[in-house]
Amino acid sequence: MINVGVLGATGAVGQRFVQLLADHPWFHLQTLTASERSAGKPYGNVVNWRLDAPYPDNVSDIVVTPTTVESLKDCDLVFSALPADVATSLEKEIAGAGIAVCSNARSHRMDPDVPLVIPEVNPDHLGLIDVQRDRGSEGFIVTNPNCSTIVLVLALAPLRSFEFHDVRAATMQAISGGGFAGVPAMDIYDNVVPYIGGEEEKMESETLKIMGEFNGSEVIPAPFKVSTSCHRVPVIDGHTIAVWVDVKEPVAEVKKAYANFKSPLSNLPLQPEKAVELFDQSDRPQPRLDRNRGRGMTVSVGRIREGLRFVALGHNTIRGAAGASVLNAELIYSRKYL
Ligand SMILES: NC(=O)C1=CN([C@@H]2O[C@H](COP(=O)(O)OP(=O)(O)OC[C@H]3O[C@@H](n4cnc5c(N)ncnc54)[C@H](OP(=O)(O)O)[C@@H]3O)[C@@H](O)[C@H]2O)C=CC1
Ligand SMILES: N[C@@H](CC(=O)OP(=O)(O)O)C(=O)O
């Protein structure tokens, strides 16, 4: 078993990590960290469990530690669900101390030597771990993309064999994306907020890095354009995205590409049976009905129409956050980087 810790274990994403790791076949969850506010107390006493999944009792007695390198000395690998301003220097320090970091925070996603990985799309980008290790420390940082980016890229992955140059996307993002304290009820109830700070820029740049080519030392960004508009809607979990792509092939060919899309992964505990599931019903996918497919790891695609136009949906705190990081760690372990 690999000894693991969760940084920011009491937050919206941190709780998802705890849910996914409490009973993991490869990873032993032994350290939970949070802010000084929570440190020193048993997790069961400080966590306000707010997930639609049962609370895992076996973690209650773990005493929450402050988020310092010293408190992680028994971990081989940590999952970071820290606020980005805290993650920026701390994740580097932790990797420098020889510990593997799978981060969900945005801080290092676009660093040239940090892999930004979706296991079904660009597993080869993990080669950047060797580039980081060439600097001397066994530790490294691997990141997963922004939650909306993950849904968009998985929905584009089956189209890779077609030519396209122009991707446009409009998101309808769940309020859990803003964290537990993130979006006031007065802002979101009976409302749509047509702005999520930094989200459009992240979707537009991260997509090109993930779908870019790794040449052994760096990633050359993909040669198409992405233009997005991001909106917060009154949904608890699940980001929905309307997508337009200038694919010229007929709809029937495109549907075939979705139906035949195969994940390159095998035997990873969290990998879903289908990374991308295609719907034929005219009113799907929908967040309440479809976000938990594949234990929250499947991206659903439907309403494929000429143009090419379609709708994609994924669970933002599972496939878009904690689940993405855990799947990355499973891939890292299976490829013997740990
Ligand atoms: N929610 C989502 O869908 C997604 C979130 N992310 C990213 O994941 C990260 C976490 O987001 P989220 O879970 O929503 O945030 P929350 O605000 O819900 O949780 C933040 C966590 O970090 C801890 N924390 C806060 N300040 C400090 C500090 N100074 N030192 C150490 N720990 C601290 C908190 O502990 P305490 O309880 O003690 O305050 C809590 O455990 C962010 O970087 C976010 O951008 C990424 C993709 C999707
Ligand atoms: N911005 C996302 C969540 C998030 O924190 O994204 P990032 O990890 O890219 O900062 C949302 O609001 O739904």
Please report the ipTM that was assigned to this predicted complex.
Answer: 0.96
Q: What is the pLDDT of residue 234?
A: 97
Nearest ligand, CA 36: 1
Query: 0.95 exceeded by the pTM?
Result: yes
Q: Shortest CA distance to 141 belongs to which of 106, 186, 175?
A: 106
pLDDT tens-digit readout, 232-285: 999 999 999 999 999 999 999 999 999 999 999 999 999 999 999 999 999 999
Element at 125 (helix H, strand E): none
Whether 230 has a pLDDT exceeding 90, the answer reads yes
- Ligand 1 binding site (Cβ under 6 Å of any ligand atom): 8-14, 34-35, 37-38, 67, 81-84, 86, 104-106, 146-147, 176-177, 179-181, 316-317, 320-321
Q: Are 95 and 141 in contact (CB under 8 A)?
A: yes
Q: Are 104 and 322 in contact (CB under 8 A)?
A: yes
* Separation of CA 114 from chain center: 15
State mean pLDDT over 158-182.
Answer: 95
Residues contacting residue 221 through CB under 8 Å, at least 6 positions apart = 208, 209, 212
pLDDT tens-digit readout, 297-332: 999 999 999 999 999 999 999 999 999 999 999 999
pLDDT tens-digit readout, 31-50: 999 999 999 999 999 999 99
pLDDT tens-digit readout, 107-143: 999 999 999 999 999 999 999 999 999 988 899 999 9
Q: What is the pLDDT of residue 135?
A: 87
Q: Are 186 and 222 in contact (CB under 8 A)?
A: no
In the set 75, 102, 147, 230, the catalytic residue is 147
151, 258, 305 from 253: Cα distances, Å: 21, 9, 11
Beta strand 213-214 with 219-220 is: antiparallel
Kindly report the backbone phi and psi dihedral angles of residue 144, in degrees, each rounded to the nearest multiple of 5, phi listed first. Answer: -110, 155
Q: What is the CA radius of gyration of the chain?
A: 19
Whether residue 230 lies in the annotated active site: no
CA-nearest residue for atom 12, ligand 2, is: 177
Give distance in angstroms: CA of 84 to centre of ligand 2: 10
pLDDT tens-digit readout, 200-224: 999 999 999 999 999 999 999 999 9
Q: How many CA atoms lie within 13 A of 316 on its CB side?
A: 24
Whether 95 has a pLDDT exceeding 90, the answer reads yes
Is the Cβ atom of 83 under 6 angstroms away from ligand 2?
no
Residue 181's pLDDT band, with cuts at 50, 70 and 90, is: confident
- 334's tokens: 């299976």
Is the Cβ atom of 196 under 6 angstroms away from ligand 2?
yes
pLDDT tens-digit readout, 190-202: 999 999 999 999 9
Give CA–CA dist 150/196, Å, rounded: 16
Give CA–CA dist 29/77, Å, rounded: 10
Q: Which of 172-181, 268-277, 284-293 has the lowest mean pLDDT?
A: 172-181
DSSP state of 168: E
Residues contacting residue 4 through CB under 8 Å, at least 6 positions apart = 21, 27, 28, 29, 30, 31, 75, 76, 77, 78, 79, 329
Q: Are 313 and 238 in contact (CB under 8 A)?
A: yes
Q: How many CA atoms lie within 13 A of 244 on its CB side?
A: 8
- 53's tokens: 């999944």
